[in-house]
Amino acid sequence: HIKNISSLLLEDVYGPLTKEQKWGVKVIFEKVQEAIDVTNLYLSVAELEAGHAIISKEKTDLVQLVKEQIKKILYGANQKGIEVITELQKDLPKIRVDAEKIGTVFYTILDNGVKYSPQNGKLFINLKKLENKYILFSCQDSGIGLSKEEISELGKIPYQRSKRARSAHGTGIGLALYLSNLIIRGHGAELWAESEGHGKGTTFNVKIPID
């Protein structure tokens, strides 16, 4: 109800608000949405860990799926002046995946790329066939980078982010990435990160079997 009412306030349904009032209501709206998102993440993780989550695989166009997730992060990228560069292979076969869950994985990676990239940074997004056996999705950011130790801890809960990561983006405990790992395992796929070190950006990769 708080989210709905704040949304109506932002739309001036109850009358016009001052600039300061709109800012306050917008903060409330965003914090409520953040709480909802975290709750949904916990529920999704609990279902997957308990083996209760259903993975419904259907023939899916991954190019279209990636494009849909890119649209969701464009506003945040534009706000930071981040250039989004895509290279999506056009003739990829449709493969059997749970589109909603794999879409969540792609979005998590793209969203992290925006969060941890600096102002006026770059985000390189690639989708291609690999060895005629897999489809490889990768997202390379120009952000804070990761050490070997930090890479080894990714996807674990609780994930203690470095001071640099908390400084770049204060919220989050790595839950979305942990959920992504569970989803990827359920597809017999692989997820891993690469980085040359601090300040040199990070590349996240997802390798999904074609069959």
Q: Domain residue spans in the chain?
A: 2-50, 58-209
What is the structure's pLDDT at 51?
67
The 10s digit of each residue's pLDDT in 150-184 is: 888 776 654 444 454 444 444 454 677 888 888 88
58 vs 45, more confident: 58
105 vs 28, more confident: 105
Q: How far apart are CA 2 and CA 10, in angstroms?
A: 12
> Can you read off the two tokens belonging to residue 177?
């990435």
Within a 10 A sphere around the Cβ of 28, how many other Cβ atoms? 15
Reply yes or no on whether the pLDDT at 3 is more than 50.
Answer: yes
Is the CB of residue 168 less than 8 Å from the CB of residue 144? yes
CATH of 58-209, one of 3.30.565.10, 3.30.70.3000, 3.40.47.10, 3.50.30.30: 3.30.565.10
Cα–Cα nearest to 98, from 66, 57, 47: 57
Is the CB of residue 114 less than 8 Å from the CB of residue 77? yes
Mean pLDDT value across the chain: 82
173 vs 144, more confident: 144
Global pTM?
A: 0.75
201 vs 43, more confident: 201
Q: Pairing relation of β-strands 58-60 and 95-97?
A: antiparallel
What is the percentage of the chain residues whose pLDDT exceeds 90? 37
Is the CB of residue 76 less than 8 Å from the CB of residue 39? no
Could you give the 3-state DSSP secondary structure of residue 134? strand
Runs of H (alpha helix) within 51-199? 62-79, 99-115, 148-153, 163-168, 175-186
Q: How far apart are CA 85 and CA 45, in angstroms?
A: 31
Residue-wise DSSP of 121-132: -EEEEEEEEETT
Q: How far apart are CA 204 and CA 112, in angstroms?
A: 10
Number of helical (H) and strand (E) elements in the chain, helices listed first: 7, 7
Half-sphere exposure of 89 (CA within 13 A, CB side): 15
> Can you read off the two tokens belonging to residue 180?
């992504």
